[in-house]
Structure 1
């Protein structure tokens, strides 16, 4: 932890609670085709009127800040919709999605986002500020999904600091090996209009945020696990939640794991011989 903790006025930041942002999008065959190719799905991509994979909504109605309004990390400058948390590192900590219907190619989508909560906690690495955002996604006027997104802000990493070694995760009943390289991370960043440099700028990730390499997106891992759950359950889950536990990097050999749990499946990603990186739960109802 650094010696100087940024001034953090939690009462001021909580003034953002209740703020809303609305955006619209049109789901085209081009997005369906590119998402299908990036995720390496079998068969043909969805055509006009056909159902799309779950969590493709992470690619829809994303904020499009002008270049002049991007911060040094590639994220939009703070203080607009999201509160101006004065901690330098921002990560998607996790979320939960309830599915009320299907997204289809050709749908007109409307996203309504609301700041639901801002809280301050203190961990071993210093202060942690959590911002909870609630999203409602409508397609052609009908509610398709509700989502809770947790964003965490924390202090900058200390170069050379040794983190406590986490406990390796046991293998699941079901297991599928995967690899992820820079090209895939770049494609997913482009599809989600995510300019966070830790996912595509290796020198920034290593020299500024002190990571050993490019970081695999949390939402990308969630999408892998959600689709794996649909395959194992024989149908798309009705509810899906996920939480980031430790970073996964471009050069890691890792696997998707799953095992049966009450009401559905427990799932996680884990490096070979390493800890869980992303944990998730998929529910049949």
Structure 2
């Protein structure tokens, strides 16, 4: 006889029902082996002095407010709500306070210093060479930032100068256009004013339109003689009336003693009748082209 699976037996008995079928498992049994746990504790426990361990087990320090209200330690601890963050943190604080009050006298009895000396210097986590590299890197970064800032300022100044130059050029073009319009009106007889010939009028008009700054830029600036001009004046003088040795006079104009008609009217001179002025005249382009074609 063949054994059927348990699921088929359950189906045959009518134990299976429509829907999700879950296999039930027995509850896990937890063993509270106290003797074994104590034995494990004794195996890895080491018998060393308290100075090497510095472990303390303390309750919280006394609460002054609870003592003033006349509450006992049990009542005080029962009033603490573990879900209240402030009360829970204060309990931990008082517990640490009680540990310090108990540990400090014990350390003093063992002649262990609990305060750092005034001349104590802790060892740095990084070496001096590493710190020197960090200083150099920070210095180089600072220098690069300064250079970048200076470059930004130069770019801003360059943009401002270009803007001013554009404004000056536009103003000059505007003045030129206005002057040409005034000249055309005067030529056509539409206006009899000659204000456009006066520079002061133009500068005052520009001052009223663009303000004092633009007028100051447009107005011609009077400058003194430069060094080159001064040197030439000292070397060659300041001009003025010359001696006039090469000037024509009435006597030199009427003196024709040096005139020779043969020389003046000869063929070699090129100015007389039948002279050689046009003897070697170059032929025109078309004639030169015809001459080239004939030579071919």
**Shorter-chain TM-score: which interval?**
under 0.3
Higher fraction of strand: 1
Larger radius of gyration: 2
In terms of fraction of residues, the more helix-rich structure is 2
